[in-house]
Amino acid sequence: MNKCYLGVDIGSISTKGVIIDENFNIISSNYIWTEANPIDAAKKLVNSLNIPKGYKLSGIGTTGSARKLIGLMLGANVIKNEIMCHAYGTLNFYPDCKTILEIGGQDSKIIILNNGVITDYSMNTLCAAGTGAFLSSQSKRIGVDIDEFGSLALKSKNPVKIAARCTVFAESDLIHKAQLGYKKEDIVAGLCKSVVLNYLNNVGKGKKIKEPIVFQGGVSKNVGVVKYFNDILNTKIIVDKNSHLMGAIGAAILSSKEGTDREFNLNMNDIKFETIGYECKGCSNNCEIVRILKDDKLIDSFGNRCEKGMQIK
Amino acid sequence: MEKVIAFPLMGNYYIPSSYLFSKICNCKILKPPPITSKTIELGSKNSPDFLCTPFKYTLGTYIECLDMGANILIQMGGGCRYGYYFELQQKILNDLGYNFKYYNLVSKGHTDIKKIYKILKEINPKLKIFKSLYYFYITKKMIEYMDDIEDYIRLNGGYEVIDGEFKRIFNEMLNKFSNVKNYRTLKKIYKNYKNKILEVKLNKPNNNIKIGIIGELYTLMEPYANNNLEDILKKYKVQIKRFTNVTYLLFEKGKKSKRYLKRLKNVKYKMGADAMDNIYYTKYLIDNNYDGIIHIKSSFCTPEIGNMGIISKMCEESNMPVLFISTDTNTSKVGFETRIEAFYDMIEMRKKNE
């Protein structure tokens, strides 16, 4: 029997999953929307992935903003932050990579590598400007499908100028330009450009971006954004065909490197998972304690700030 | 009317402060309720949006204390714009309809014993100068002893064999501190507990990870404001070095910061509050082969924004990982923990590949 490993990346917008073999080749993968329901999304994802005959699942790694919850649900042996997972995933395909640019649904990050070791990283703070969420909300406003967003931007010869600092200002700029009667493709191109400028101003501020540069995350599928990264950085950035899966691949790789292999069962259909939030009345903090129930049995609870919230009932 | 004194919270320092006021003010001391999300809600509701979080935290505590019956409020102004918050907080609280007296003990970042004595004399007209000096001295020593032991705990807290041993001993000591009668007993308690702390069994590896934490003072010292940063780091078995404490701010800063400024070649001015001190600490941490620096501040902290550029350049030149964190009144811990976890993982990865 060959071993294989599952990596799940549960982001705010999308849920990604891959199964890799011992040599880190992708056997099966899928990409679905989270739709604010990570438990159902993870169940759906796991059902859609198939483990071929002759393989047995020996490790599960989870990452993304719901990594803790889904990690518990799947019984993962590795629950790791996105920075490490993206770095490991990317290094598997591009061992000499020096810079990773990542723009996801709600956060964006830059990872600087030197000889396969992370030397610096940065994440956006306190602000969702220049992320996928901004692009998808604006695409609805303009009435352009998010999948066509990038190709429409490429048609533009004269992208409009849109403030790059802040989402709120960018949006009012956008409305203003639209009311002046600019062409749709010019506005879309301006938006793509503003995402790039915002990213470089906020997240990439003060970081030395050296080649080879790998661009990933959901937004990397937007060819318009890729074009403006190339133009502004004056280089050619690499976008892998699996760029949206890198975090999940990294989680799977980390799970295999953990060295705690055991046999996993992915049959989740008959098991009921439930999250119940309850307010601890121990003090005026009113901590929202999250309790995770598996078939009505409590498997874990977290969210408490002090010992008072620790009691498991 | 009975006088009831209240003051804001910061770390464990309410123990020496309530000790001092109870001994020399001859009035009731109100122990402020612990900072909770309700405190912050009250504070930020009544504050201008773009003020830094210490203002909102302390204002919230004041409102809670006033509701509990306090009528004298004590504030300690800082060397930044926090020094002016005193007047603004007074105005906001008056507008809310509270009646109280408000005293600022430390203005412009200077500890002026004479001025403090004058204020305390106003609160308690029967105050004798000898008695107050004596209790000043005890309080000062108490703060120094606390800081000394906490420094040791920070360096070794991650490595205790039995979990929570340090915390238990330290809290026991603080309990005894709040009831001391004279200086001799204070010193005896300190020596006794220092020995107990030194005897705690440690399991400290040689190549442990060492992180220095610097930044704005309130966020550094109040665990609620920094999401229990030190406890998170201890879980990762990290040796923590923190320079900022009340001993330094009140009793040592005047002399030491002049020395620091002389030793820094790239800085000519003090830059307000602890901005220059933090640049000096960065140099210290680089020179002493620390593995990483976490710079934490409340959003909109002007002096710390001023030194971030210099610090990041120094760190870049010496290949030192540095993480800048701004906190605000948002209480979500998830994003914060992700950043700390990633920072730790990065340092561990670098260390393995050295």
Instruction: Based on the fold, state whether residues A115 and A142 are members of the same structural domain.
Output: yes
Whether A122 is covered by a domain: the verdict is yes
Beta bridge partners of A214: A100, A238
Checking if the pLDDT of B330 tops 70, the result is no
In the block, tokens 């069962």 appear at A265
Name the range with the highest mean pLDDT among A257-271, B84-98, B320-334.
B84-98
Instruction: Based on the fold, state whether residues A186 and A221 are members of the same structural domain.
Output: yes
The tally of CA atoms less than 13 A away on the side-chain side of residue B238 is 27
For range A2-14, the mean pLDDT: 87
Beta bridge partners of A112: A99, A120
Whether A152 is covered by a domain: the verdict is yes
Output the pLDDT for position B108. 63
A vs B, Cβ pairs < 8 A, gives: 61
Whether A44 is covered by a domain: the verdict is yes
Q: In this complex, is the C-beta atom of A286 within 8 Å of any C-beta atom belonging to chain B?
A: yes
Whether A268 is covered by a domain: the verdict is no
Write down the mean pLDDT value for chain B: 87
Decide which of B306 and A137 is more confident: B306
Best of B35, B343, B346, B351 to disrupt the A interface (most A CBs within 10 Å) is: B346
Residues in chain A with CB shorter than 8 Å from the CB of B32 are none
Checking if the pLDDT of A92 tops 60, the result is yes
Q: How many structural domains is chain A composed of?
A: 3
Q: In this complex, is the C-beta atom of A88 within 8 Å of any C-beta atom belonging to chain B?
A: no
For range A110-136, the mean pLDDT: 80
Best of A67, A110, A114, A119 to disrupt the B interface (most B CBs within 10 Å) is: A119
Q: In this complex, is the C-beta atom of A173 within 8 Å of any C-beta atom belonging to chain B?
A: no
**Which stretches of chain B sit within 8 Å of chain A by CB?**
33-34, 36-39, 228, 299, 312, 316, 319, 321, 325-326, 328, 330, 334-335, 338-339, 341-343, 345-346, 349-350, 353
First-to-final CA distance of chain B = 68
What lies within 8 Å, CB to CB, of A34 at 6+ separation is A10, A11, A12, A13, A14, A15, A41, A66
CB contact under 8 A, A117 and B342: no
Best of A63, A70, A83, A202 to disrupt the B interface (most B CBs within 10 Å) is: A83
CB contact under 8 A, A118 and B338: no
CB contact under 8 A, A118 and B350: yes
Where residue B153 falls among pLDDT bands split at 50, 70, 90?
very high
CB contact under 8 A, B350 and A116: no
The answer to whether residues B315 and B266 touch, using CB atoms and an 8 Å cutoff, is no
Whether A266 is covered by a domain: the verdict is no
Write down the mean pLDDT value for chain A: 83
Q: Where do the H-state alpha helices sit in chain B?
A: 14-24, 37-45, 53-67, 82-95, 113-123, 129-156, 165-177, 183-199, 217-221, 229-235, 246, 253-263, 275-287, 302-317, 334-352
The answer to whether residues A92 and A22 touch, using CB atoms and an 8 Å cutoff, is no
Instruction: Based on the fold, state whether residues A144 and A220 are members of the same structural domain.
Output: yes
What lies within 8 Å, CB to CB, of A95 at 6+ separation is A116
Least confident range of A30-34, A302-306, B4-8, B22-26: A302-306
Checking if the pLDDT of B339 tops 90, the result is no
Residues in chain A with CB shorter than 8 Å from the CB of B52 are none
For range A263-283, the mean pLDDT: 75
Instruction: Based on the fold, state whether residues A169 and A190 are members of the same structural domain.
Output: yes
Instruction: Based on the fold, state whether residues A108 and A193 are members of the same structural domain.
Output: yes
What lies within 8 Å, CB to CB, of B254 at 6+ separation is B110, B111
- A199–chain B nearest CA distance, Å: 17
Pairing state between β B209-215 and B292-298: parallel
For range B183-192, the mean pLDDT: 92
Residues in chain A with CB shorter than 8 Å from the CB of B38 are 284-286
Q: Taking CA atoms, what residue in B is nearest to A68?
A: B334
Over residues A16-28, the pLDDT tens digits come to 999 988 888 888 8
For range B48-67, the mean pLDDT: 89
For range A206-225, the mean pLDDT: 87
Instruction: Based on the fold, state whether residues A52 and A110 are members of the same structural domain.
Output: no
What ipTM score was computed for the predicted complex, to two decimals?
A: 0.80
Output the pLDDT for position A313. 47
Instruction: Based on the fold, state whether residues A191 and A228 are members of the same structural domain.
Output: yes
State the Cα angle at A146 between A141 and A149, rounded to 5°.
95
- B188–chain A nearest CA distance, Å: 32
Output the pLDDT for position B128. 85
User: How far is the C-alpha of B301 from the C-alpha of B55, rounded, in Å?
Assistant: 11
CB contact under 8 A, A283 and B34: yes
Instruction: Based on the fold, state whether residues A61 and A84 are members of the same structural domain.
Output: yes
Task: Give the three-state DSSP class for B241.
Answer: strand
- A62–chain B nearest CA distance, Å: 13
Output the pLDDT for position B243. 92
Beta bridge partners of B292: B211
Longest dimension (CA), chain A: 65
Pairing state between β A117-123 and A213-216: unpaired
For range A135-142, the mean pLDDT: 82
Over residues B276-319, the pLDDT tens digits come to 999 999 999 999 999 999 999 988 888 898 899 899 889 988 98
Output the pLDDT for position B294. 94
CB contact under 8 A, A84 and B330: no
Instruction: Based on the fold, state whether residues A218 and A112 are members of the same structural domain.
Output: yes
Q: Taking CA atoms, what residue in A is nearest to B327?
A: A126
Whether A112 is covered by a domain: the verdict is yes
Decide which of A287 and B289 is more confident: B289
Q: In what order do the strands lie in the sheet with A108-114?
A: A117-123, A108-114, A99-103, A213-216
For range A191-213, the mean pLDDT: 84
Of chain B, the percentage scoring pLDDT greater than 70 comes to 97
Residues in chain A with CB shorter than 8 Å from the CB of B312 are 206
Instruction: Return the domain boundaries, chain B.
Output: 4-127, 137-204, 206-354
User: How far is the C-alpha of A299 from the C-alpha of A1, rounded, in Å?
Assistant: 31
Instruction: Based on the fold, state whether residues A233 and A252 are members of the same structural domain.
Output: no
Q: Taking CA atoms, what residue in B is nearest to A64?
A: B338
User: How far is the C-alpha of A167 from the C-alpha of A129, rounded, in Å?
Assistant: 5
Give the CA distances from residue A250 to residues A6, A11, A25, A45, A247, in Å, rounded to whole numbers and listed in that order.
10, 14, 12, 17, 5
Whether A200 is covered by a domain: the verdict is yes
- Which class is domain B206-354? alpha beta
Checking if the pLDDT of B332 tops 70, the result is no
Angle, helices A223-233/A184-202, rounded to nearest 10 degrees: 60
Residues in chain B with CB shorter than 8 Å from the CB of A117 are 349-350, 353
Output the pLDDT for position B116. 81
Where residue B119 falls among pLDDT bands split at 50, 70, 90?
confident
Residues in chain B with CB shorter than 8 Å from the CB of A126 are 299, 326, 328, 330
Q: In this complex, is the C-beta atom of A279 within 8 Å of any C-beta atom belonging to chain B?
A: no
Cα radius of gyration (chain B)? 21
Whether A264 is covered by a domain: the verdict is no
For range B237-257, the mean pLDDT: 88
Over residues A180-199, the pLDDT tens digits come to 888 888 888 888 888 888 88
For A46, the domain range is: 2-88+248-257
- B117–chain A nearest CA distance, Å: 36
Q: Is A32 exposed, middle or buried (CB count within 10 Å of its CB: 0-12, 13-18, 19+)?
A: middle
Contacts of the segment B114-121: beta carbons below 8 A, 24+ positions apart: B120/B24, B120/B25
Residues in chain A with CB shorter than 8 Å from the CB of B43 are none
Q: pTM of this prediction?
A: 0.86
- Is B4-127's fold the same as B206-354's? yes
Instruction: Based on the fold, state whether residues A253 and A283 are members of the same structural domain.
Output: no
Find the CB nearest A206 among B312, B326, B346. B312
Where residue B78 falls among pLDDT bands split at 50, 70, 90?
low
Give B4-127's CATH code, choosing from 3.30.70, 3.40.50, 3.90.1530, 3.10.450. 3.40.50
CB contact under 8 A, A119 and B341: no
The answer to whether residues A82 and A62 touch, using CB atoms and an 8 Å cutoff, is no
Residues in chain B with CB shorter than 8 Å from the CB of A286 are 36-38
Instruction: Based on the fold, state whether residues A38 and A70 are members of the same structural domain.
Output: yes
A 133-172 residues with CB < 8 A to B: none
